[in-house]
């Protein structure tokens, strides 16, 4: 019986389910229930998500969930934003003051906020992190006066070099530390020539020539750059190429004795050595016009006996301070580099223009000469280097920005009379391009002008009766009142004196000028406030020099009128 009951129940349940699923309306109800449950779940999720989202703040663009109370500082910590103030550091990065740096800066919703300000859901928090603070930087500007080239000091003073162009030096310096952060140079043109005093000098010396092939090449390079050198020639070659020896001298170069036939002098008897030198002198002295000063022993081989013999014949023994070893033919680059490395003030650099193929030497010299000059060296002869000779008497070349001017010393017999009084000139007037230049003082003083000469800047200020002139020596532009005036012949620096063209004295400083060629007297008289007139003389100075003054002025018609004038 028990066995029959479960069957009944089972049959009843099955019947219910059969009925249920067989009934279409019941199936529909169940589906609706499931959909409703799903919708509710989605809605709850959305609500929960929305609630979670509103429990956040935005810190430096990132969302940070709000979990309880939150301050600005807490926000910063969540993002690992540094909050400890950095250090105050100098321009080199060294700490000046620990903790003296920049503190963090907080903003909440774009308003400055304190570190402990509370933030709320949805706030936008910005935190500028703490950091180091660099001390303030101060900029100072200093005018750099052109490099001065003075002609004072020990002889020789072979020529004047350009004075360079002034520039501005900016220095950036930490205000607290005083340390220099940066230096900037503006508009500075390096000048040839040494600083303060005379320029640095180097003597290039060439042995074993003259060579028909290489000596002319080297002479040409030297001449192109107005450089000079010393040639220790061999008597045997000088006899073969006498014209080359003359060419060497004509270029302002010096000739030295290197014996007749290049023996090792230490192996010679005193008489044999004397014979070598006498034979050399017989050929070379007439070519150079006299006794030469220096003797360089072949191979540098010298001993007491050699010195005694050649000193007794009037020579100084000269070796070298720098050896290029050019005779080994190491390549022109090596020769060039060795010579550049050996260059210093007073250096005497050994090379060879004869005795073998010297094309490498000539190629090196071609670069060497301008490059040494660009480094401020004057290339001089040994006599000039040792100060045992007057500078080459040939000429002075004044370098200006518009070109080289050849300066010739004027006639030493010229007398200058100013307002009836004889002017005691500290230096003979000079001539450039047909114009006479007088030392600025005393003539300008005597004409009633004020003269201020700034030696370091090589700037000349002339206060004339009706205007003032500002000019830099060796520079073709002058400031005349508010005008810039170009001069073909500028005032120049010559042997330490500022020399002013005569036409400036006449056109701007109120001088009347007449010249008496018979007595070689230049009469200057002041148009302003002086009764003194020229005593005699009829020829205008321009007549004596036969040229018009060089004045060439911009567009201003006033200056064209001046141009038309001659004196
Ligand atoms: Zn030699």
- CATH number of the domain that 369 lies in? 3.20.20.370
Are residues 62 and 158 located together in one domain of the fold?
A: no
Active site residues: 207, 352
State how many domains the chain has: 5
What is the total residue count of the chain?
567
CA–centroid distance, residue 254 to ligand 1 (Å): 16
Gap between the Cα atoms of 21 and 19, Å rounded: 6
- CA-to-CA distance for 515 and 545, rounded, in angstroms? 10
Dihedrals φ, ψ of 144, to 5°? -100, 120
Domain containing 49 equals: 14-54
CA 64 to chain centre: 59
The DSSP element (H or E) to which 256 belongs, if any, is strand 254-257
The pLDDT, as a whole number, for residue 48 is 66
- The structure tokens listed for 62 are 């990132």
Residue at which a domain ends, from 134, 156, 176:
134
- pLDDT tens string 460-476: 999 887 778 898 887 87
Rg (CA), the chain: 46
For residue 237, tell me if it sits in a domain.
Answer: yes
Q: Which two three-digit tokens encode residue 535? A: 């005593």
Q: How far is the CA of 358 from the centre of ligand 1 (A)?
A: 13
382 CA from centroid of ligand 1 (Å): 17
β-pairing, 56-59 vs 62-65, is antiparallel
- Is 264 among the domain residues? yes
473 shares its domain with 449:
yes
262 CA to middle of ligand 1, Å?
6
**Angle, CA of 552, 555 and 558, to the nearest 5°:** 75
Domain co-membership, 368 together with 484: no
pLDDT score at 150: 35
* 496 and 456 fall within a common domain: yes
- Residue that is written with structure tokens 């479960």 in the block: 6
In a domain, 193, yes or no: no
- 211 lies in a domain? yes
Tens digits of residue pLDDT in 19-74: 555 555 666 777 788 777 887 777 777 766 666 556 788 888 888 887 778 888 88
- What's the confidence (pLDDT) of residue 361? 97
Q: What is the pLDDT of residue 17?
A: 52
Domain for residue 295, yes or no?
A: yes
Does 168 share its domain with 206?
no
Question: What is the per-residue pLDDT for 169?
Answer: 60
Domain presence at residue 33: yes
Gap from CA of 278 to ligand 1 centroid (Å): 18
Which CATH number does the domain housing residue 558 bear?
A: 3.30.457.10
Per DSSP, the residues of 467-530 read: -EEEEETT-SEEEETTEEEEBSS--EEETTEEEEEHHHHHHTS-EEEEEETTTTEEEEEESSS-
Please give the C-alpha separations between residue 246 and each of 217, 251, 253, 286, 422, in angstroms, as whole numbers. Answer: 15, 9, 10, 10, 43
DSSP letter at 161? Answer: -
pLDDT computed for residue 15 by the predictor: 58
529 shares a domain with 516 = yes
Q: What is the CATH number of the domain that holds 111?
A: 3.10.20.30
213 with 353, same domain: the answer is yes
Could you tell me if 262 and 381 lie in one domain?
Answer: yes
Q: Is residue 6 part of a domain?
A: no
Cα 195 to its chain centre, rounded Å, is: 13
Residue 100 lies in a domain: yes
Same domain, 96 and 24: no
Domain end residue (candidates: 118, 152, 186): 186
pLDDT at 546: 26
Q: Are residues 476 and 334 in the same domain?
A: no
User: Which pLDDT does position 76 carry in this prediction?
Assistant: 83
pLDDT of residue 85: 79
Going from the Cα of 82 to the center of ligand 1, the distance in angstroms, rounded, reads 76
Do the beta carbons of residue 360 and residue 331 sit within 8 Å? yes
Rounded to whole angstroms, what are the CA distances from 47 to 33, 41, 44, 497, 559? 21, 10, 5, 98, 92
pTM value is 0.41
Q: What is the pLDDT at residue 224? A: 94
Q: Are residue 20 and residue 83 in the same domain, yes or no?
A: no
Tell me, yes or no, whether 468 and 539 share the same domain. Answer: yes
With left for phi above 0 and alpha for psi between -120 and 50, is residue 294 left, alpha or beta?
beta
Contact 383, 315 (CB under 8 A): no
Q: What average pLDDT values come out for the chain (567 residues) when binned by 10 residues? A: 45 55 64 79 71 75 81 84 82 85 85 87 84 79 47 32 44 80 44 44 95 97 94 97 95 95 93 97 93 90 89 88 90 94 88 94 96 89 73 56 72 83 86 83 87 82 84 83 78 82 81 75 70 31 28 30 32
Q: Separation of 356 CA from ligand 1 center, angstroms? A: 11
Of 113, 134, 155, which residue constitutes the final position of a domain? 134
């Amino acid at each position: 019986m028990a066995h029959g009951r479960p069957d009944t129940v089972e049959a009843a349940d099955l019947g219910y389910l059969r009925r249920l699923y067989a009934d279409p309306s019941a199936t529909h109800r169940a589906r609706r229930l499931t959909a409703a449950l799903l919708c509710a779940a989605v809605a709850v999720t959305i609500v929960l998500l929305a609630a979670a989202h509103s429990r956040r703040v935005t810190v430096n663009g990132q969302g940070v969930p709000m979990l309880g109370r939150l301050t600005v500082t807490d926000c910063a910590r969540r993002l690992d934003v540094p909050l400890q103030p950095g250090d105050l550091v100098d321009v080199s990065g060294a700490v000046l003051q620990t903790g003296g740096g920049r503190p963090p800066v907080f903003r909440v919703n774009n308003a400055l906020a304190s570190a402990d300000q509370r933030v709320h859901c949805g706030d936008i928090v910005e935190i500028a992190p703490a950091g180091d603070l660099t001390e303030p930087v101060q900029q100072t500007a200093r005018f750099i006066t052109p490099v001065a080239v003075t002609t004072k000091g020990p002889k020789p003073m072979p020529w004047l070099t350009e004075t360079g162009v002034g520039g501005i030096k900016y220095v950036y310096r930490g205000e607290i530390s005083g340390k220099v952060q940066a230096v900037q140079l503006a508009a500075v043109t390096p000048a040839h020539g040494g600083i303060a005093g005379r320029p640095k000098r180097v003597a290039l010396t060439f042995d074993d020539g003259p060579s028909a092939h290489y000596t002319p090449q080297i002479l040409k390079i030297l001449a192109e750059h107005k450089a000079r050198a010393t040639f220790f020639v061999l008597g045997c070659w000088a006899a073969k190429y006498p014209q080359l020896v003359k060419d060497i001298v004509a270029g302002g170069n010096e000739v030295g004795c290197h014996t007749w036939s290049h023996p090792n002098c230490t192996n010679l008897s005193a008489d044999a050595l004397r014979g070598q030198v006498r034979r050399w002198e017989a050929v070379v002295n007439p070519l150079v016009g006299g006794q030469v000063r220096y003797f360089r022993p072949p191979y540098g081989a010298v001993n007491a006996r050699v010195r005694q013999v050649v000193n007794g014949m009037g020579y100084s023994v000269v070796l070298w301070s720098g050896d290029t070893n050019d005779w080994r033919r190491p390549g022109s680059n090596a020769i060039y580099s060795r010579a550049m490395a050996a260059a210093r003030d007073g250096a005497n650099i050994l090379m060879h223009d004869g005795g073998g193929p010297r094309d490498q030497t000539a190629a090196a010299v071609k670069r060497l000469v301008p490059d040494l000059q660009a480094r401020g060296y004057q290339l001089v002869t040994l006599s000039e280097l040792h100060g045992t000779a007057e500078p080459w008497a040939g000429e002075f070349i004044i370098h200006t920005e518009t070109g080289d001017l050849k300066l010739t010393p004027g006639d030493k017999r010229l007398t200058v009379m100013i307002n009836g009084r004889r002017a005691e000139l500290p230096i003979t007037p000079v001539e450039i391009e047909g114009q006479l230049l007088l030392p600025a003082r005393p003539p300008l003083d005597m004409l009633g002008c004020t003269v201020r000469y700034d030696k370091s800047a090589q700037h000349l200020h002339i206060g004339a009766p009706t205007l003032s002139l500002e000019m830099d020596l060796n520079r073709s532009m002058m400031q005349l009142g508010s005008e810039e005036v170009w001069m073909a012949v500028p005032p120049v620096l010559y042997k330490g004196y500022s020399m002013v063209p005569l036409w400036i004295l006449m056109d701007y400083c109120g001088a009347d000028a007449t010249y008496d060629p018979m007595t070689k007297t230049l009469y200057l008289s002041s148009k302003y406030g002086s009764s003194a007139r020229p005593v005699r003389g009829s020829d205008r100075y321009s007549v004596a020099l036969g040229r018009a003054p060089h004045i060439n002025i911009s567009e201003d018609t006033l200056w064209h009128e001046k141009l038309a004038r001659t004196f």
